Structures are given as structure tokens and as C-alpha cells.
Amino acid sequence: MNVVTLLGSPRPQGNSAALARRFLQTAAGLGADTSSVYELNRLHYRGCQACYACKTGSERCVIKDDLAAVLAAVEAADAVVLATPVYYGDITSQLKGFIDRLFGFLVPDFHTNPRPSRLAPKKLAFILTQGNPDPALFADIFPRYGAFLGRMGFADRRLVRVCGVGPGCPAETVAEPLLRQADEAAHSLLGVPAGR
């Protein structure tokens, strides 16, 4: 299985990246190819320009920037890991810009087409960290993006969510049970029972 990982945090050693690393270590141990990791904050790209070229003359986003290679890698992947902290009640702008560019994979009649995406079905691990310890806060993020990503072809989705971690309380030092969520998600997504 080919797993592509997108780190949405501007902090490459932050909590969401730590959970993504743990997920990837476990997935690699289960035989997945986890070599494609993109730090979105290091790339130069624009959000969707609403040019609709992907609906009128091309089957892909026509913007030629650093995100073009990432979109191609996602298209070829079997599974995608999206990792982000919560910033101002939502995912980071870096990850949102990527998600907006997925619009290029929607067919022209996506509003009414029962198969709106050009992407082959994929698996998704959505890693979300937040400093606030209250799990009721920001609980709407995954359902909101999960619904959209489901229409994009990510039918098999797993959430890894850790609350109460921030720069002064890094995930790697908080507790092993928090990191084990990433292990469990990797086992689940790859279809390998835990303990193997």
C-alpha cells in the first residue's frame, strides 16, 4: 500500500507531525510504502483560483506550482494521511489550501453525478491535535471535512484526535496511550489486526 502524508502544521516537530510520524512508523512496519511525506508549509502554492479549467478543458488542476506534484502523488496513492493542528477553530490554512485544490479532481457535473470524483477510492487517516483539552470544542472539524473528502473518494476514513496538547505540552512526551491512537489507526486502515 502506498501512503502519502501531508503535514499541515508550520511546526515540523509539532504534535500533529509527531502523531503522523508514529502512524507512518507503524504503517511501514506493516509493509506500507510511507516514503512520500510533504510538509505543506515548505511548498510554494496557491489555493484554488476558481478558473474552472479542470471542468472545461482539463481533468486536473492546471496550476503549475509546488502542489502539482503533491496532487499527482495523492492521485496515485492508496491511502493519504492529513495531519493538522487546530488553529483558530479549524485546520491550518496550509492544509485548507491543499483541500481546496482537490476541486480539480471533481467531474464537471459533480453536483448531480453519483460518482463525483475522478480519484480512485482511497483510504484516509485524518490526524487532528488541539491545545484545548475539551473534546467538545472543534468536534465539528472532522465531520465537516470528512463529508467533503468522502465525496472526493476517501470512503474509508479514520480520525486520530488528541486534545490538550500544545507547544508547552508535546504529544511525544504526554503519554504513550495518545500515540497508540496512531498505531491503532494504521492497523485499522491497513486492515491488519492490532497486536500483529
- Identify the DSSP state of 88: T
pLDDT of residue 70: 98
Distance CA 161, CA 15 (A): 11
Distance CA 112, CA 107 (A): 10
Burial class (CB in 10 A: 0-12, 13-18, 19+), 196: exposed
pLDDT of residue 195: 67
pLDDT of residue 26: 95
pLDDT of residue 171: 54
pLDDT of residue 176: 76
Domains recognised in the chain with CATH numbers: 2-131+148-165 (3.40.50.360)
Quick check: 31 and 1 in contact, CB under 8 A?
yes
Q: Which of 98, 101, 160 is nearest to 125 (CA)?
A: 160
Question: Which pLDDT tens digits describe the chain residue by residue (196 residues)?
Answer: 999 999 999 998 888 998 999 999 999 999 999 999 999 999 999 999 999 999 999 999 999 999 999 999 999 999 999 999 999 999 999 999 999 999 999 999 999 999 999 999 999 999 999 989 899 999 999 999 999 999 999 989 999 998 888 766 655 555 677 788 899 999 999 988 876 5
Tell me how crowded residue 50 is: count the other CB atoms within 10 A of its CB. Answer: 8
Beta bridge partners of 81: 5, 125
Global confidence as pTM: 0.94
